[in-house]
Amino acid sequence: MARIELKNICKKFKAEKNKLGFIEKLNPLVLLIQMMKTNQADMTVKPPGGVFSIENLQLTIPDGKVMVILGPSGCGKSTLLRLIAGLIQPNSGEIFYDGVNMQEIPPGERKIGMVFQNYALYPHFTSKKNILSYFFFHKHTPELDQLAQEKYRKTSELLGVEIEYLLDKSPAHLSGGEQQRVALGRCITRDPALFLLDEPFSNLDQRLREKYRLELKKLLRHFNITTVYVTHDQQEALILGDLLTIMHIGRIEQTGTPEEIYNTPHSLFVAEFLNLDTDTPAINRLEGEVIAPHLQGLLVGVRSEDIELCDKHSRDAFPGTIAEVRHIPLKRATILCVNLGNNELYVRLPLTQNVSRNEDIRMRFKKYHLFDKHSGLRVRSYPEA
């Protein structure tokens, strides 16, 4: 296990020439071979979403925890993962594993287990040989062979009996889910101090994603190994992550538990990005003066579940008119679209609450956040957390 610290990391991207030539994005298999076979990591990778800069990035990943890096496509999630792995080097700043500076430590010596988005299996190896591929890049000795067999036995037990049916097949004859299992097996046999996983389920259908992420959660709990997991799937992040890091255009917006980030978002971007229920927008926006005159110039953000209907005599209530009513019996919820002056709010109510379209109502905000209009940062919340 390892505690990972990134201190003042800066990385500017541009098209650079190196021994591999001009490149946009390296095939993960090339990166994996680079990790296993050499001590060199002088490759420059241009991020797929276009050129951006990482400036003074700070991040701590606690020992034994699963940190999920979450953010929109092209924000720098995979770039951050490759910086941690040493597959690309920062222009400045330091990366520590358990207090040891990794600047001079090549990827192959960092005890990393990686699973890529397309699994990066060796096409000419069988599944078993892929799982044990780490040992093929080391000098064979009786002791090493015995260790390889023991690791293979333990890995097969953890992955379940189904892995036995895949052993003699090549990657070309495996389904996406089977390739994912083999890639995880290869990751485990390296006996890593750190797991790095880059959207390993993105190529699977919904049923297989649900199955394998639960299986992965069991594996991560079993090993208790520090893990950095990159995804854009919020449900996956909530299932797997002890901690979330929200990224946006090369910078970290907020790090914390899912509950901390949802209840006290650092910025309007975070509040609008993390959406636990897609039946409604993540957060309703309205002008501050709607709440009180002294809030003019601020933005109010209120979650749909934090709005309740009240009687016409209630204090601190706001008048509105129901524009739309949508019942969702499977979730035992009713979703309202309510006009409040020039603002449109979405309200989540219990299915049993009786309301109708065009009905005039009064609402109360149980909790809301105030954001600065220019910076988007949260100023404060009511009631204070």
Query: What pLDDT shows up at residue 304?
Result: 95
> In terms of residues, how long is the chain?
385
pTM of the model: 0.81
* Residues in a beta bridge with 321: 339, 360
Question: Tokens for 221?
Answer: 């709990």
CATH 3.40.50.300 domain locations along the chain: 4-263
At 17, list the tokens: 């020439």
Q: What is the pLDDT along the chain (385 residues), one digit of tens a residue?
A: 689 999 999 998 765 444 444 444 445 554 555 554 444 333 334 444 445 689 999 999 999 999 999 998 888 898 999 999 998 999 999 999 999 999 989 888 888 888 876 667 878 888 888 877 777 777 778 887 787 777 777 777 666 655 666 777 888 888 777 787 788 887 777 778 899 988 887 777 788 788 778 878 887 887 788 999 999 889 889 999 999 999 998 999 999 999 999 999 999 999 999 998 889 999 999 999 888 889 999 999 999 999 999 987 777 788 999 999 999 999 999 999 999 988 899 999 999 888 999 999 999 999 999 999 999 999 999 987 6
- CA–CA dist 87, 29 (Å, integer): 12
Of 359, 353, 351, the closest CA to residue 323 belongs to: 359
Question: What pLDDT is stored for residue 361 in this prediction?
Answer: 93
User: What is the per-residue pLDDT for 242?
Assistant: 94
Q: Name the CATH superfamily housing domain 284-382.
A: Nucleic acid-binding proteins (2.40.50.140)
Q: Is it true that the peptide bond before 383 is cis, omega within 30 degrees of 0?
A: yes
pLDDT value, residue 182: 82
Give the pLDDT confidence score for residue 61 in this predicted structure. Answer: 96
Residue ranges, comma separated, of all CATH 2.40.50.140 domains in the chain are 284-382
Helix (H, G, I), strand (E, B) or coil at 121: coil
Cα distances (Å, whole numbers) of residue 46 to 16, 49, 75, 139? 9, 9, 13, 34
Q: Does domain 4-263 have CATH number 1.10.10.60?
A: no
Query: Which residues are within 8 A (CB) of 6 and not within 5 positions of it... i.e. 6 or more apart?
Result: 57, 58, 59, 60, 83, 84, 93, 94, 95
Q: Which residues contact 167 (CB under 8 A, 6 or more apart)?
A: 126, 127, 128
What is the Cα–Cα distance from 247 to 224, expressed in whole angstroms?
25
Tokens coding 183: 């890639």
Q: Is residue 224 within 8 Å of residue 64, measured between CB atoms?
A: yes
